[in-house]
Amino acid sequence: MTVLPLASAPADLRATPDFSAQVRRGFGRQAGSYEHHARLQQAVAWRLGRLCRTLPLAAGPCADLGAGSGLLSRALVQHWPALAGRSPLQLDQCPELLARNPLGPGLLWDLNNGLPQPLERAALLVSSFALQWLDAPAPQLRHWAEQLRPGGWLVLALPTSGSFPQWHQAAARAGVACTGLGLPAAQPLLAAAAAGGVTLARQQVLRFSRPRQGGLATLRHLRQLGASASRQPPLPPGKLRRLLAHWPAGTPLTWEVLLLLGRKD
């Protein structure tokens, strides 16, 4: 596994280390059971694989950004004949997840620092359920788009701001903060990709519901995924109890997911 020095990151795209480290620890702790709980991530990877299967692919570097255990790349390699024999670089900041990734090569890298130099003029940049963890998702997405070579593809999925309305409602009713990760809105992301020179071939905002969740099951599910890092301090026990009391048991948990497929002009 190669570790590139952070000093090579562009100055305007440097990481704020504390939150990044919290995210890395969260995924690292749960790496062993990530795939068991990542049903939605698996389904989205499959869908992206199907969407890509007839696309032409130019020569040049290919990478999966925030690849984790490789769910997206495995689906792409399975469905997309143009990727045969050229598995995307598996880039992630979490060594425990990369260690479970059967594809290679892997690269430990914090995406808050922009993309590493070998991905300049990439032919393919893919990413699923990772961009929302970065400090500045829209500027990073624009940077990804700018790094593509003409004709290169951007293939992206991530949860967006319409996710978890049940959590927001319960927090409002309980009069406590909603301490979930703040998710980016879909529209500024689409604008960022376009500003980076990518023409959108496909864009969809999908809603997926996990039935019979409620508060406790939701928080447990996110913890089991390793996805419980937050920029806000956790609720103290009294407020947490109030939140759960206002979160009806058995309500579904709704994810809003942006799917984007675009080509560099």
Ligand X SMILES: C[S@@+](CC[C@H](N)C(=O)[O-])C[C@H]1O[C@@H](n2cnc3c(N)ncnc32)[C@H](O)[C@@H]1O
Size of the site for ligand X (CB under 6 A): 24
- Residue 9 interacting with ligand X (CB under 6 A): no
Q: Which of 30, 87, 90, 128 binds ligand X (CB under 6 A)?
A: 128
Question: 36: buried, middle or exposed (CB in 10 Å: 19+, 13-18, 0-12)?
Answer: exposed
Q: Which of 62, 123, 133, 137 binds ligand X (CB under 6 A)?
A: 133
Under a CB-based contact definition with an 8 Å cutoff, are residues 180 and 230 in contact? Answer: yes
Reading across the β-sheet that carries 198-210, which strands appear in turn?
A: 2-3, 106-108, 89-92, 62-65, 122-128, 148-159, 253-264, 198-210
Shortest distance in whole angstroms from residue 238 CB to ligand X: 30
Q: Which of 62, 63, 67, 158 binds ligand X (CB under 6 A)?
A: 67
Shortest distance in whole angstroms from residue 240 CB to ligand X: 24
Under a CB-based contact definition with an 8 Å cutoff, are residues 160 and 258 in contact? Answer: yes
Q: Is 68 helix (H, G, I), strand (E, B) or coil?
A: coil
- Residue 125 interacting with ligand X (CB under 6 A): no
Q: Which of 37, 52, 63, 92 binds ligand X (CB under 6 A)?
A: 92
Under a CB-based contact definition with an 8 Å cutoff, are residues 133 and 107 in contact? Answer: no
Q: Which of 112, 166, 213, 228 binds ligand X (CB under 6 A)?
A: 112
Shortest distance in whole angstroms from residue 157 CB to ligand X: 8
Cα distance between residue 22 and residue 139, in whole Å: 21
Residue closer to ligand X (CB basis): 110 or 256: 110
Shortest distance in whole angstroms from residue 246 CB to ligand X: 27
- Residue 62 interacting with ligand X (CB under 6 A): no
Which two structure tokens, joined as six digits, stand for 170?
């319960």
The β-bridge partners of 262 are 154, 200
Residues 6+ apart with CB under 8 A from 36: none
Scanning 48-56, 110-118, 186-194, 202-210 for contacts with ligand X by CB under 6 A, the matching segment is: 110-118
Residue closer to ligand X (CB basis): 20 or 147: 20
Shortest distance in whole angstroms from residue 20 CB to ligand X: 5
Question: 16: buried, middle or exposed (CB in 10 Å: 19+, 13-18, 0-12)?
Answer: exposed
One-letter identity of residue 39: R
Shortest distance in whole angstroms from residue 34 CB to ligand X: 7
| Cα-based distances in Å from 115 to 111, 121, 206 | 6, 11, 28
Which two structure tokens, joined as six digits, stand for 65?
């950004």
Q: Which of 49, 68, 106, 184 binds ligand X (CB under 6 A)?
A: 68
Query: Which residues from 221-250 bind ligand X, rule CB under 6 A?
Result: 227
Scanning 108-116, 146-154, 164-172, 193-201 for contacts with ligand X by CB under 6 A, the matching segment is: 108-116
Give me the residues that bind ligand X (CB under 6 A), please: 20, 23, 27, 38, 41, 45, 66-68, 71-72, 92-94, 97, 110-112, 128-130, 133-134, 227
